[in-house]
Amino acid sequence: MPALYLITGAAWIAASDRAAAWWAGGDAAVLARLQGYKDGVWILATALLLGLLLRPLVRGLRDWRQRALDWRARHRELFHAHPVPMWTYDPDTARIAEANPAAGALLGWPCEALRGMDMGALWQPEAGGAAALAPEGGPGRLRLRDGSVREVELRSVALAGDDGRLRLAVLHDRSGEVHARHALEQARQLLDEREQQLRELVRMVPDGLLLLAGQRVAWANPACAALFGRPAEALEGQPLSALATGKDLPALQRWLDGGPLPDGVARMRRSDGSVFRAALACGRAPHDGGPARLLLVRDLSEPERMREALVAGNQELQAMARRLFSAQEDERRAISRELHDDIGQAITAMKLSAHAAMAEEDGERLREDLQDIAATADATLEKLRNLSMLLRPPQLDALGLEAALRWHAGILFRSTAVALELDIRSLPRRPEREVEQACFRIAQEALTNALRHAGARAIVLALRDQDGRSLCLVVDDDGCGFEPARARGLGLAIMRERAQSAGGRLQIDTGPGQGTRIRLQLPYGAQAEAG
């Protein structure tokens, strides 16, 4: 347009000057007047032309200005209505120019109070605040009006139209994300702990656990590996047919498919070929995205052995009870015979001697009869005293366990050639009555057995305190000994029963030709044991 304006102007000047000169015909006054008309026409024409040309441009500029104002108002409206906290700030002074209501709600300040506030006053002084104040922003910890702290991330961009002076800061509240990450980390840590606890529990459980994927073992715990006599790694991949006996395998497979299993028991096979009865329980568990079965295997060998031992023990107790009843009857019969034959005859003799003395007239004969009666009475009293001491020695109640053991050993070995060594030490306290009686009777039975059946040349009887809470009785002989598994005598059973009833423990070490050592440990009593 300037080039067109220059060309048009030059052509107008050249043409108008020639036309004016021709029209004036050499008259200077007319020529000057024509020059003025020519300039006015040029000015008017160019003004009209410029007006026509600039009118659309001015209208466009006015429209663009109105549109810019509308866009600015709309941006301000969006800025204030946006749910994300935002503000504008001067990067040179770090002061907030404008903040939207979402930023005020987050910070706890009114928007008017945020205008002109220093951004540095909103950040925690710890690491992270300085990064957030950088031009591009960054993560930081925002301090709210109430003193609480929120984890945020600030993103900053330059605003166009303000000579790049202001920047827009957008805040993303990361507190929920941080809390969720912490919660996820805690949950993961808790899950790891629970997994470790479960793994340790599975390792420590005494029953065998194995995971069956199809018909093969996918995993087994150490107890299961020990149960089948193989390493846990060797069990993995083994088919079920390698663990169950051929007779029980079909029933076991039907049971795994939901069928019945008699008593829940099947016969399983160890690596050495031995067979054992196992109680089974089954549950479903996923494995590698597919279904699997968790099988619990409990070895019934030990419970069955204990049950058989219990049955044998009950039978032995019943037999012992019968023998004990017979022994009691025999003892009563012996006492009755002793009373009838010896004591009864002695009293009858004294009665006859007394009648004879009453009828005797000779004083010398009367004195002899009375002396015979006195002698018979003394012998009868001695027999009664010995019999009562065998039933219950008075030294046990009057003097205690140590004196009773010394007295009984002296009476028992008084007329025998067997050497007796006593090592009876004083106890720090007196045991309870039941403990004293049990210890005395066991010592009595052990010494009697050693004299009657062992053929010993020397016997040691020892009593001493042990750890201040229990006493220890030892009867040791150098006799012929015996086989403990074949011993069926009533005495050993009675000794064990007495020791158990008093809360103690009886140990018998013997063998053919090795002598016998009986060791008894008893507490002083319930109160001492509880203390």
For residue range 100-142, what is the model confidence (pLDDT) as tens digits? 998 888 888 888 888 888 887 887 655 445 445 566 667 778 8
- DSSP single-letter state for residue 484: G
CATH number of 393-530: 3.30.565.10
No. of helices (H) and no. of strands (E), the chain: 17, 15
What's the pLDDT at 320?
65
Q: Label each residue of 193-223 as H, E or C.
A: HHHHHHHHHHHHCCCEEEEEECCEEEEECHH
CATH topology of domain 82-173: Beta-Lactamase (3.30.450)
What's the pLDDT at 377?
82
Res. 464: pLDDT tops 50:
yes
Res. 211: pLDDT tops 90:
no
CATH number of 205-299: 3.30.450.20
Residues paired with 486 in a beta bridge: none
- State mean pLDDT over 174-178: 80
Measure the CA–CA gap between 132 and 134, rounded to whole angstroms.
6
Evaluate whether 205-299 and 393-530 have a shared fold: no
CB within 8 Å of 229: residues ≥ 6 apart: 270, 271, 272
Domain spans, the chain? 2-76, 82-173, 205-299, 300-391, 393-530
Pair 515, 481: CB distance under 8 Å: yes
Q: Which of 415, 380, 419, 531 is closest to 467 using CA atoms?
A: 531
Res. 233: pLDDT tops 70:
yes
The pTM (predicted TM-score) of the whole model is: 0.40
Residues 447-459 pLDDT 10s: 988 888 888 889 9
Measure the CA–CA gap between 450 and 444, rounded to whole angstroms.
10
Q: How far is CA 329 from CA 322, 337, 384, 457, in A?
A: 11, 12, 20, 33
Measure the CA–CA gap between 473 and 524, rounded to whole angstroms.
12
